Amino acid sequence: MDEMKADIIQFRGSAYEIGRNTAAVYSKNPVLKQFNQLSDMQTDYTEIQDLFSAHAPHLLDELHGLADGLGIALPDAAVLYSGYNLLRPQALGCTAYVDKNHYVRNYDFDPSLYDHCLSFIAPNEAFGSIGYNLQLIGRHDGVNEKGLAIGLHFVSNTKYRKGVSAWTALRIALDTCETVEQVIDLFEHLPHAACYNFSLGDANGTYAVIEATPEKISVRSSPSGLNCVNHFMKAELEAFNRQDMTSSAKRDGFLSRMDLSNMTQEELHSLFSNPASPLFFEDYDQLFGTLHTIAYSFHTKRLMTALARGKRLDVDVADWFAGNDLKLKSIYGTLKKEPIR
């Protein structure tokens, strides 16, 4: 058993200040070296400027703060941490369910490529959000102050191109969107680099899965809740799927057999986070181990989260955005490494 830890970052203020404070937390984080290997240092900084200026100008300020905090030039920080024009990502697994009441999701991957940070931020220039960091400014998943919850699910690198990563796209959505429809409109205009599903829901009871490719996006909906795994389900996008969808289809089948719409938030979180669950994986050496679980209630505005085999953290989201910080500085979990199933 290996102990796992995630720092809790809580910042309120300008985007620049949030970037600078985030840099202080990451200054000794070994994941920085990993991200340095994912970026193409020949990337034109002006392309990043143009993209962010059009969709999230405050993130340029956050990158500026990161640069100053890490002691590097702004163009270098942008190339390293903007999530733009990266090398092709490795496959990762994620499972989610969303309906008008709840959003619940597992993130499955390799702990050595995990930021180990859960950020609570309230920037002056954008909507505040709570979510797990990916490549510093990006997010795996999260919820914002308007009640929008969203998470990403890798599908494939088919037709991969220069563009924005899924985790940066997700962060822009949290920062700028209140509703599912606004996210759909945003994603229609972003240059997606790879094929990803995005599971999401909002405070109005609207929920969807956006199936995004470098060429186009499609939207999946249902009156009774939606499962989201690691393959596209819209017929028009099936050609973008990986050849082997065994694990993804198996998880989708399990969710389809469950009466998820009648479960409480606690029950949903337990279903996803229980090591005995078919949705929980410990194949960390094969890049497929559960690292965290989140569950959000659109009605109570409570967020439940835990690292693998860790104690559940229950957060009153509205209370945090009212100005009341958590007293915790870290959350913990345990990694039990087992052979691939």
Task: Specify the pLDDT at position 1.
Answer: 82
Task: Specify the pLDDT at position 340.
Answer: 44
The pLDDT tens digits for 45-71 are: 999 999 999 999 999 999 999 999 999
The pLDDT tens digits for 149-177 are: 999 999 999 999 999 999 999 999 999 99
Task: Specify the pLDDT at position 89.
Answer: 72
Identify the segments of the chain with pLDDT beneath 70: 337-341
Task: Specify the pLDDT at position 338.
Answer: 57
**Distance, CA of 298 to CA of 204 (rounded, Å):** 8
**Distance, CA of 99 to CA of 96 (rounded, Å):** 10
* DSSP state letters, 155-172: EE-TT--SSB-HHHHHHH
Q: Output the CA–CA distances (angstroms, integers) from residue 71 to 28, 35, 74, 82, 302, in the order listed.
A: 13, 16, 9, 16, 37
Q: Could you tell me the domains of the chain? A: 2-11+89-335 (3.60.60.10)
Spatial CA neighbour of 60 closest among 41, 75, 44, 38: 75
Q: Record the tokens describing residue 138, joined without a space.
A: 């990006």
Q: What ranges in 56-146 are assigned the alpha helix state H?
A: 58-70, 74-81
Task: Specify the pLDDT at position 317.
Answer: 99
- Environment class of 339 (CB within 10 Å of its CB; exposed 0-12, middle 13-18, buried 19+): exposed
The number of angstroms, rounded, from the C-alpha of 339 to the middle of its chain's C-alpha atoms is: 26
**Distance, CA of 61 to CA of 65 (rounded, Å):** 6
